[in-house]
Amino acid sequence: MPDSSPHIRNFSIIAHIDHGKSTLADRLLQATNAVSPREAKEQILDSMDLERERGITIKASAVTVWHRHKPGAKADDLETDYEATSDETGEHKVKKGESAEAHGDLYMFNFIDTPGHVDFNYEVSRALKACEGAILVVDSTQGVQAQTLVNAYLAVNENLHIIPVINKIDLPGARPIDVAMEIEQTLGFKAEDCLLVSAKTGQGIPELLASIAEKFPPPRPPVTDALRGLIFDAVYDDYRGVIVYTRIFDGTLKVGDKIRMMGTQRTFLVSDLGKMTPKPVRVKELGPGETGYVVAAIRTLKDVRIGDTVTHEHHPAAEALPGYQPPRQMVFCDFYPSTKEDGESSDFEDLREAVEKLSLNDSSFTFQPVHSEALGFGYRCGFLGLLHMDIIQERLEREGGVEVVQTAPTVSYQIVCRAGTDDIVSPSGQVLKKVIEGMPHYAPPPPGHVLLEVHNPAELPNPSTIMEMREPICRLELMIPKDKIGDIMKLVLDRRGQYKSQSFVSQTRDLLQFEIPLAEIIYDFFDKMKGLTSGYGTMDYEVIAYRPDNLVKMDILVNGEPVEALSVIVHREKAEHRGRALCAKLREQIPRHQFEIPVQAAIGGKVIARETIKAYRKDVLAKCYGGDVSRKRKLLEKQKEGKKRMKNIGAVTIPQEAFMAVLDTGD
């Protein structure tokens, strides 16, 4: 239906977390009668339980709704009280009265949901590539936050038209005028162009619907008759396999078509096409400008790359749509199965099954088997960020039913080594992966050298072979109350941050920009920042480059044995401080044993910090009489359960928390 594309609008809602994105999405769906109030479960676009519990959206999805709009209508004329449905064929019908056209032209709104968190920036930008417009939501009580900016930048980079919306104006603390000024200050939109909305009460919704129709541009006309559809999301369904969400830019996709993924070169037969309204509705074809889902017997998410282009097998497009990048895993940690009660066999098989199953519906985390002397067999996993890591761990335990011991997260490093005839291998014998031109954050090593990737301090080759170590650097944006700027400056500079700029947001807040090593912010930085600003500060970050610094590997020895899972890469100047903090933390967390346990931090065999865990002497309750038996038994049963989460390293039992001790930076 090429002639309908002038009335198609593809857009996303972007916002800082909790600024009301999901409520606004619900309200828009309701206002276009896509969902009845009864069906309007909170945050309807999110589908995973975990997402709903955490109040965040992880996977993007797209919903199509129809809306009548008279071009140029005044706000007073706007109405939304007609009924719209769609049948199996996707044909649209209007059931109220005899002349639906009297309500204006029929618009197809394709509303593409985006994840709200920085870890999922890549997914956000994929979703935005499928849009022409973005609604930027700002909470009228909170104002512009760091994530608002980062999301807005992403939308600007994609050349999207942006409608700024100030939400929650029904709240007593709303200050829409100030917030409009903040938006003007920070993003350059005119304050008077901001729409005032309450997603909760519905105030301002008709005006917003009108703006979507009037301000957002229609999809660009096709530039070729060959099919080109952008895959902007894919979800795994137990019954139908992978469901791909696509935005068609050129050509038409029909049921029965044989398609080819231009990146992976995999081919599939389209068995089903449809749109979510938000109920799934089958359609026979998807034309230029439209979005919808594709079912094509795709078995695993590994067969699909978000950002890839779909074309026809028999009439392929000459060129893929621009901009595919593989997701970048920035944070890594190991998962090991918890030691069982008998201290013997660990169920690595259960973990393997859980990890592989999870990878079916989240292709953005990577995993490879590892073996650690201390912890046995497990997986080294890569994540988009810390939140992503937490989500994966929780889902492994919840959905996979395995209990895992997780090591402290590290970032991915690049090392420069002399190029030889042989591959450079890690101490465990693994060949280290080369970083080559064209890969993200590549900067050429000196002639005669190679650039290698290391995700794990344990993988570092012999230090004498390492010329240089490079670490990921982020651009960090902080929105900070003015009276806390000094504290925040100190926090960032203490962590090797470099000040870049400071700019005015409002009477009370400034925007600070820094460059800082990712390793310095992945642990407790967010909590510290929140603490210093009494919760009012917000932050966002993006990795911009890898840069060399004076980095060293610090080993941790427990009872004289190096525990690779506890080793860290640190800045030389901070090593002693970190080593002392780490040893002190481990002393707290490793329970006393029957013998004294030295805990040492060492660099290249030289001990730089030491603590001693004294041997326990006494562990017995004084009284156990007739009335104490049940209570005491329960107490011991609980201790027994606690043992499950421990790991035996040589003769020492280390609780899971200890592996996170690395998180404590000692500040």
Binding residues (CB under 8 A) for another protein: these are 341-342, 592, 594, 614, 616-627, 629-630, 632-633, 636-637, 639-640, 643
Cα(336)–Cα(378) distance, integer angstroms: 4
Toward another protein, which CB reaches closer, 418 or 633?
633
Give the containing element (helix H, strand E) for 157: helix 146-157
Q: Locate 539 and state its tokens.
A: 């932050």
CB closer to another protein out of 247 and 647: 647
Q: 3-class DSSP state for residue 472?
A: strand
d(CA 476, CA 40): 37
**Residue 156, both tokens:** 């600007």
The least CB distance from residue 614 to another protein, in Å, is: 7
Cβ-based nearer residue to another protein, 269 or 615: 615
Nearer to another protein, 254 or 632 (CB): 632
**Nearest to 254, CA basis, from 315, 318, 321, 323:** 315
Residue with smaller CB distance to another protein, 316 or 598: 598
Q: If you write DSSP's letter for every residue of 427-448 in order, what string do you get?
A: TTSPBPEEP-TTSTT--PPPTT
- In the bound state with another protein, the residue whose beta carbon lies nearer, of 42 and 596, is 596
CB of 404 to another protein, least distance (A): 20
Instruction: Give me the least distance between CB of 196 and another protein, in Å please.
Output: 51
What are residue 326's phi and psi, to 5 degrees? -70, 150
In the complex, minimum distance from the CB of residue 341 to another protein, in angstroms, rounded to a whole number? 5
- d(C-alpha 228, C-alpha 583), whole Å: 57
Whether residue 168 contacts residue 139, with contact meaning beta carbons closer than 8 Å, is answered with yes
Q: Which is nearer to another protein, 302 or 614 (CB)?
A: 614
Residue 643 Cβ, how far from another protein at the closest point, in Å? Answer: 7
Structure tokens at 417: 């080594």
Q: Measure the CA angle with vertex 304, ends 302 and 306; round to 5°.
A: 115
Nearer to another protein among residue 493 and residue 624 (C-beta): 624
In the complex, the smallest distance separating the C-beta of residue 660 from another protein, rounded to whole angstroms, is 24
CB of 640 to another protein, least distance (A): 5
223 vs 629 by CB, closer to another protein = 629
Residue closer to another protein (CB basis): 494 or 637: 637
Contacts 24+ apart (CB under 8 A), 72-75: 72/214, 73/104, 73/210, 75/206, 75/207, 75/210
Judged by CB, which is closer to another protein: 239, or 625? 625
666, 578 contact by CB (below 8 A): yes
Q: Is the peptide bond before 278 cis (omega within 30 degrees of 0)?
A: yes
Residue nearer to another protein on the CB measure, 75 or 620: 620
DSSP code, position 267: E
Instruction: Tell me the closest approach of the beta carbon of residue 617 to another protein, in angstroms.
Output: 3
Three-point CA angle 143, 209, 9, nearest 5°: 105
Q: Would you say 138 and 17 are in contact if contact means Cβ atoms under 8 Å apart?
A: no
Please name the residue ranges forming H helices in 276-380.
Answer: 348-361
72 vs 626, beta carbon nearer another protein: 626
* Residue 258 · residue 267 · CB < 8 Å: yes
Nearest distance from C-beta of residue 26 to another protein, angstroms: 46
What sign does the dihedral 123-245-231-453 (CA atoms) show?
A: positive
Q: Copy the structure tokens of residue 513.
A: 């920009």
d(CA 245, CA 247): 7
Minimal distance, residue 582 CB to another protein, in Å: 23
Q: Provide the minimum distance between the beta carbon of 635 and another protein in the complex, in angstroms, as a whole number.
A: 8
141 burial type by CB count under 10 A (0-12 exposed, 13-18 middle, 19+ buried)? middle
Give the DSSP letter of residue 656: H
Tell me how far, at minimum, the Cβ of 340 lies from another protein, in Å: 10
Q: Quick one: CA torsion of 371, 398, 244, 157, rounded to 10 degrees? A: -80
Question: Residue length, the chain?
Answer: 667
- Among candidate residues 613, 615, 614, the one with its CA nearest the CA of residue 594: 615
The H or E element that residue 30 is part of is: helix 21-31
* Shortest distance (Å) from residue 615 CB to another protein: 9
C-beta separation of 264 from 209 below 8 A = no
Question: With respect to another protein, which residue has the nearer C-beta, 371 or 633?
Answer: 633
Q: Which is nearer to another protein, 592 or 645 (CB)?
A: 592
Smallest distance from another protein to CB 594, Å: 7
**Least separation, in Å, of the C-beta of 405 and another protein?**
18
Buried b (16+ CB within 10 A) or exposed e, 26-60: bbbbbbbbbbeeeebeebbbbebeebeebebbbbb
How far is residue 208's CA from residue 135's CA, in Å, rounded to a whole number? 9
